[in-house]
Amino acid sequence: MLTTTLEDPYGRVIDSLRILVTLKCNYKCIFCHSEGVLGHAEEVLNAEDYGFIAEVASSVGIKFYKISGGEPLLRDDIADIVRSIKPHARELSLVTNGSLLLEKAKLLADSGLDRLNVSLHAFSKALYEYVTGSYVPVSRIVEGVKEALKYGIKVKINFLAMKSNLGEFFKVLEFAEENGLDVNLIELIPLGVPLDTYRREHVFLGSIVDFLERNSAAKYYRELHNRPVYVLASGIKVEVVIGYGNYLFCSRCSRLRLTPDGYLKPCLYVEDLKVCVLKSVKARDREGLMNALHEVVKLRMPYFKLEVGGGVGQDDRRNQ
């Protein structure tokens, strides 16, 4: 008998779905991991399909939905997708590079979007172009953020730290504080990134974390991923995201993933363990989709785990 909540074999209750609506992007970021989707993935789901998925998923306890890409604002029907998911979501957010936000902020607000995660990895023109592979001016991202705020959408800044842009963090932090924006400080992971790039650019976040420890007014841990959150004197929050090799991160993961070609995945790092929902979705087969949700949850195991003796190891199932 199927339960009305989703709980994996490790006792983690699933309440979040990250929806990858496209792999298309107008940037060529040096750190891109394509949300763990290898190769081509055709966009086979429309706005009504996403609404059906959210309706069924919400009935088994999924409350938080995040639309991602690629660059999701490249989809002509992105407002319809937001509108179809929103009735079933406690919070609906979207990840964007911000390049199209100035034109689409009002449309997203009118469609019911609650929050944006806007990637902003540098203010320096040269560094921004190097990191993103794009010649979009940073001023355009800033204008897009302010436009979204004007229409009542909450904005959180994503800053991915690398050796090349580490010094830019404090410029981004200043911008965030001036505009009342929380920040995700993210460590580079070796997924989809050329090995030489990873070796050249990876940097541990210790120096910034030390700064946050010294200068925060408060600190707590989010339920999701055990993420440490630092509350600064200005009132904004800086959330530290260290996903790779971090068993504490895995131990509190409560997220499933949906690919553009209609597969549910249990984990960012796992490509071969997935469940196709395309047939069930197109047929509006509630039972079939419900079964698929329970099936993929059974595949969930921590990719990084604390081994006997205190070391951190990877889950052996990733290679099955």
Which residues does the chain have with pLDDT short of 50?
315-320
Angle at 197 between CA 274 and CA 183, to 5 degrees: 70
Q: What are phi and psi of 55, to 5 degrees?
A: -60, -45
Give CA–CA dist 298/301, Å, rounded. Answer: 8
> For residue 206, what pLDDT is reported?
95
Q: Identify whether the C-beta of residue 296 lies closer than 8 Å to the C-beta of residue 311.
A: no
Q: Comparing C-alpha atoms, which of 32, 116, 37, 21 is closest to residue 74?
A: 21
The structure's pTM equals 0.94
Close Cβ partners of 177 (under 8 Å, ≥ 6 residues apart)? 232, 234, 236
| C-alpha distances in Å from residue 132, one per residue of 124, 137, 192, 320 | 12, 11, 15, 34
Q: Which domains does the chain have, with CATH numbers?
A: 16-319 (3.20.20.70)
